[in-house]
Structure 1
């Protein structure tokens, strides 16, 4: 039996979530300011503080390092995996009401559903010259961004380590999601396909007046709320410590976002298991 979505709730510390109900009604605690939501809409990304404790972040970082260990023999310094883990340190963050509430505000809706998750680790690369990738992961029209509820994906990059200019910062182009949304909207062949998750490299994007890329910097425990429809990409780690992030995405209840077939199968399997592993009062986040 599928349980219908319920209104968003306000943030409580993880320690309280394990021993107390969530009686605080939506709207009594501001989790993201209007100015920050406007920055997300116009620029494509905004970094906010979260209520997670140092212990919560440390536990998540230890988990990610265990799941994505550095392997010197692989020749790789960048590791990731998606929708394949159920560790308590990560599930407690997925089901934390803070992220649900922020997603509700950003997407202009009363209820959201969990969409996807990923963990990322980029280890120091001795002697490397700083370099970065540029691409998009999501395609939508300007009408989708401006709709109520928004027909887009709300993505959180929760930083488990500090991110400096040398420590593999995401390189992003502010406002590029809006330029691309206008361009996609003009292509009749895409109108019935959007919104959709699709990877497109920089060289395959329309030639538009994009802003110059800039590094996205943050402190451990902060989260960047962003749209992966903007031009962005990973960079090399020329620092002396790893950079780790926990990614969570949400969509407004009732909004359908297309996925590549393989990702859709992975999502369905993960959602089915996640439904049983979340606390009973948080299972509404998962639509199965």
Structure 2
């Protein structure tokens, strides 16, 4: 059994807001998205509790799917995701598993489907068995030290793994889009985001509040 807890756009702890507003993430997101200006999208805290007696395993999914025209646009029409590791991530401590390049395989497939090519990206989880059968590479782990960050797209096949260590593994997730890019959310997430954005903009220092677009 995997014991995992996550909460999205629900917290205003000063220490966590300090991370969100760091210019480092803004500048990296600009480079990744090929954008002159970016917009805060969502944030989450994910904790995977220890299950030292459980066998190591992981589930595989995507959170969003793009076409090549989304990924290759300028600015890119996609979400840029940071995992900020609060704890050390080892091979035993719930490493994030991912299949390198899988986001582009799926994007190429969608680009070749007329009914999918022009569709707007929409956040929504799809498990591996619901995705096109493509030549995905084997899954590999992300290991990191506390304080490091991993930048990625959750359009890549990825998933949480079992924490077979004896201590929890915590991560903070921060996401951005290029300014003006609209990525669809399920209705409940969209409502939560609107409320969170309004409050977050008030709580950030004026010189950093511009990253939140409302």
TM-score bracket relative to the smaller structure: over 0.9
Query: Are 1:254 and 2:150 counterparts?
Result: no
1:215 alignment partner, SS class: strand
1:161 alignment partner, SS class: coil
Greater Rg over alpha carbons, structure: 1
Query: TM-score normalized by structure 1?
Result: 0.73
Deviation at 1:83, TM superposition (A): 0.2
Which residue of structure 2 lines up, in the alignment, with residue 170 of structure 1?
96
Rounded Cα–Cα distance in structure 2 between residues aligned with 1:231 and 1:149:
23
Which residue of structure 2 lines up, in the alignment, with residue 107 of structure 1?
33
Which residue of structure 1 lines up, in the alignment, with residue 5 of structure 2?
79
1:174 alignment partner, SS class: coil
Superposition RMSD on alpha carbons, in Å?
A: 1.1
Which residue of structure 2 lines up, in the alignment, with residue 280 of structure 1?
206
Which residue of structure 2 lines up, in the alignment, with residue 180 of structure 1?
106
Counterpart of 2:136 (choices 201, 207, 210) is: 210
Counterpart of 1:191 (choices 110, 113, 117) is: 117
Rounded Cα–Cα distance in structure 2 between residues aligned with 1:193 and 1:259:
14
Structure 2 gaps, min length 5: none
Counterpart of 1:224 (choices 138, 141, 150) is: 150
Rounded Cα–Cα distance in structure 2 between residues aligned with 1:152 and 1:180:
14
Rounded Cα–Cα distance in structure 2 between residues aligned with 1:284 and 1:226:
23
Deviation at 1:91, TM superposition (A): 0.5
Rounded Cα–Cα distance in structure 2 between residues aligned with 1:208 and 1:200:
15
* Paired residues, number: 214
Structure 1 gaps, min length 5: 1-74
1:156-180 CA distance string (max 9 Å, x none)? 0000111011000011000000000
Counterpart of 1:93 (choices 7, 19, 23) is: 19
Which residue of structure 2 lines up, in the alignment, with residue 264 of structure 1?
190
Deviation at 1:190, TM superposition (A): 2.4
Which residue of structure 2 lines up, in the alignment, with residue 133 of structure 1?
59
Query: TM-score normalized by structure 2?
Result: 0.97
For residues 76 and 232 of structure 1, do their structure 2 counterparts lie closer, same or farther at Cα, with a shift above 3 Å needed?
A: closer
Could you tell me whether the CA contact under 8 Å between 1:167 and 1:238 is conserved in 2? yes
Counterpart of 1:235 (choices 161, 174, 179) is: 161
Q: Compare the two structures and name the one with the higher helix fraction.
A: 1
1:138 alignment partner, SS class: coil
Could you tell me whether the CA contact under 8 Å between 2:45 and 2:172 is conserved in 1? yes
Deviation at 1:189, TM superposition (A): 2.3
Counterpart of 2:85 (choices 155, 159, 184) is: 159
